[in-house]
Structures are given as C-alpha cells and as structure tokens.
Amino acid sequence: MLSLSERNDSWQNLLTGLGTVRDKSVYSHYSPSADLPLEYLEQLYLNDDIAARIVDLIPNETLRQGFLINKENPNDQIRLKQHLLDVLIKSRLFGAAFIYLGLEDGMMQHKPITKGKNLKFINVISAKEIRIKTFYQNAVEANFGEPELYELNSSKMVVHESRLIPFYGTCSINFKEFPKSVLQRIYPVLQQFNNGWQTTSHLMSDAAQGVFKLKGLHSSMSSNRSHELLKRMELVDMSRSVSRSILLDAEDEDFRRDSYSFGGIPEILEKLMLRLSAAARIPVSLLMGQAPAGMNATGESDIRFFYDQVKAEQETLKPKIERIYALLNSNSEIKIDFPALWQLTDKEQAEIKRTQAETDRVYLQEGVLLPEEIALMRFAEIKNCSERKDLLIIDDE
C-alpha cells in the first residue's frame, strides 16, 4: 500500500488537514478476506435459507419454463433440464461446475471428444470433485492458457476438456484456478443481515430485564450462603408474571424491571435487507418473498431488471445446450430458445389488443392496409406456431 506521501490521486488541504496524515479517512483501505472453503460453502447452502435462495433463484428462473428446440425428435431421455439446473446451482455455489458427457466415441477419456454413437451417461461435477491438471501451452492458439486436462479427485482419472462443458458462477480472472462462489462477495453482507435479525430476536426475548437488589449481597456471595441467594433469585424468576405479585422483604430486597426500546429497529432491518438485495442483485420482493411497500420499495422496474438479467443468463446458456445436442449424434443445426419469463396480466394483454385494434382501424379507414393484410399481420404468426412440428418444449417435468 502506498504511503500518504506517495499518493497523488486525492485532494489535500494543509490548513484543515483534509487528505493529509491528520485526516482519519485516508487510513481506510480494503483488506482482502479469506476464500470461503468449499465444505463451508456447502454447509452454508444447506443450513442458511437466505444463502440458498441467493444461489437457487436465478437458475430456477432461468429454466422455469424449460426451453424450445427446433428438432423433431430430440434425445430428451437424458432429462437435460434437471442436469442443467443442477450444474447452474453448483456453479454459483462452488464457483464452477461441469456437465460430463459420457459418449461412446472409441477414444480414451483424456483424448479430445468426437461425435459419439451412444450416450452412456451424463453427470454433473462440481469444483469440489475436480481439479485442473494441465493447460494449453501454444501461445499462437486461441485457447492458450486455458485448461486442457482435468483430473477427478476421487478416481484420479484424467478427462479432456472437450468432454466437459464448463459453467461458471462468476467471472474468472485467473485461468489457473476456478472462479469464486457467488457467496464470496455477499458473505460479509450476509453476516451483517443475519446478525441484525439474531440481535433483534435476543432483544425480544430480553425485552424487560429484571434487576434484583439484595442487602448484604457481597457478604452472601463470599460466604457459604451463595446457594441460598441463588435459590431466592430462582424463586423470584419462577413466580413473577403479569398475573402474579412478587413477595419481597421490605428492608433487604428490591426488584425492578428495565425495558428496552425497539424504536428504529424496523428501519435498520429494512436497510439491511436493501443492502443484501443490492449485494445479491436480486429485488427485495423476490429475495424475501414479500410484496414491496414504502417509498424505497422494490417496484416493477427492479423486477423487470432482474428478468433482463435472467434473460442474459439464458443467452449465455444457449450455446452450451446447442453444443450438447450437437455432440449427441445430431447432424442438423440446432437452435435453442427460451419462452418469455415476464407474463402479462389479462388486463395488460387486453390493453395491447385494444391498442392494436384501434391502430388497424385507422389504417383501414385511411386506406393504408387491406383487411387481408391486417389479418395476415396479426394472426399468421399464431397459425404458423400452431402448425410447426419441429418446435418442442423441453421440460423434464
């Protein structure tokens, strides 16, 4: 880290101390946190509901309605959607995951894959179960520096990269290792969020703290009468309630109840939710499963932005699915598409149709279009989609 005298990217004022050694803010700097171990990430996913929701939500939305493929008889017996969901979740949790295609192509597993005649298996392998063994070394090739061979941790079997279709949860900035989990960046904010809710829960359980005063407390504790004192305090705790009175010695004992204020706690919890939502890049209404409320609520625009993000994930997924089908034995060109995730309400659809009808009426009155042209323009697409036999929805469910 540069010393203050070496810095030349900030303003300084010698009179006020701004930007100098007298300015406390200049001592703030980022301290890298340790990488979360893969075993810890697995336990975090299994035991923390919010962490699991952050990992699961985008993959589930990406494949919620399956995908479309322009092929008459796709090999959908492999239940590809379930494998894709599995690999997407594991790639976000562990940073990287792979679909391992076991094709009978007559080659050893450490050799490049060719189009096989039969699919023996399709497995999902996470970063916990595999490591990079070697890299491409030819600097004049496009794949220079990328992994060439992988090794399975359990069997030590070496697999060529062409037999594995990689999925990464985050961007990789170093080919020498797998990307980090999506929870790596979010973890400090997730800690703050959970601490806030746990602290609030503790405050609720101790909302009113009883204070018991006893004359001669110090001498009682230092003598052999401490058990009598503990028994007396236990008796007071067991007997006090809103429907009972407490019997005390007027001269030697006193009891009072100190209450805590909960003012401002809901606002703090709301800010923690917003901070976690920003870190996870998921709207609060989807992350927490609650309807937006208030001036700072997550509205429709945020949800549309989220579905645009999911759409981008789908576009990234398309070439990987197309590659799987291309390797399976297909000689025809495969095209993948995803149904729209944002569904219009009946009212919104009716408004669109009414607007289209008004526009068509004006075109007819002004002689811009003929009735036959309008009919073709509005209804030909629906007719074509209903007649197409090569467009199938792949959905394991």
Short-list 162, 172, 151, 181, CA closest to 91: 181
Report, as an integer, the average pLDDT of 143-167. Answer: 92
Contacts of 29 by beta carbon, 8 Å cutoff, 6+ apart: 1
Q: Which of 161-170, 205-214, 305-314, 334-343 has the lowest mean pLDDT?
A: 205-214
94, 184 Cβ separation under 8 angstroms: no
pLDDT (0 to 100) of residue 99: 95
Query: Is residue 388's pLDDT more than 60?
Result: no
Q: Domain spans of the chain?
A: 32-188+280-343, 212-259, 349-391
- What one-letter code names the amino acid at 78? I
pLDDT (0 to 100) of residue 251: 62
Q: What is the mean pLDDT of the chain?
A: 80
Q: How wide is the angle at C-alpha 291 spanned by C-alphas 286 and 297, nearest 5°?
A: 85
| pLDDT-based confidence at residue 209 (cuts at 50, 70, 90) | low
Report, as an integer, the average pLDDT of 323-328. Answer: 82
pLDDT (0 to 100) of residue 77: 44
Report, as an integer, the average pLDDT of 318-330. Answer: 82
pLDDT (0 to 100) of residue 200: 82
| pLDDT-based confidence at residue 49 (cuts at 50, 70, 90) | very high
Question: What's the CA gap between 92 and 49, in Å, rounded?
Answer: 15
3-state secondary structure of 82: helix
103, 330 Cβ separation under 8 angstroms: no
The string of pLDDT tens digits covering residues 56-69 is 999 999 998 888 88
Query: Is residue 247's pLDDT more than 80?
Result: no
113, 99 Cβ separation under 8 angstroms: no
Which segments of the chain are extended strands (E)? 67-70, 96-103, 119-126, 130-135, 147-152, 158-160, 164-168, 208-214, 253-259, 336-337, 391-394
Question: What's the CA gap between 251 and 234, in Å, rounded?
Answer: 20
pLDDT (0 to 100) of residue 95: 94
The string of pLDDT tens digits covering residues 64-98 is 888 888 765 555 445 788 999 999 999 999 999 99
Report, as an integer, the average pLDDT of 333-360. Answer: 81
Question: What's the CA gap between 336 and 325, in Å, rounded?
Answer: 10
Report, as an integer, the average pLDDT of 346-359. Answer: 84
pLDDT (0 to 100) of residue 298: 47
Question: What's the CA gap between 395 and 386, in Å, rounded?
Answer: 19
pLDDT (0 to 100) of residue 3: 52
Short-list 386, 328, 380, 354, CA closest to 83: 328
| DSSP label of 241 | B
Report, as an integer, the average pLDDT of 292-320. Answer: 77
Question: What's the CA gap between 132 and 151, in Å, rounded?
Answer: 6
68, 339 Cβ separation under 8 angstroms: yes
Report, as an integer, the average pLDDT of 258-276. Answer: 80
Residue 4's Cβ-side half-sphere holds a number of Cα atoms within 13 Å equal to 14
Q: What percent of the chain has pLDDT over 70?
A: 73
Looking at per-residue pLDDT, the higher value among 90 and 5 belongs to 90
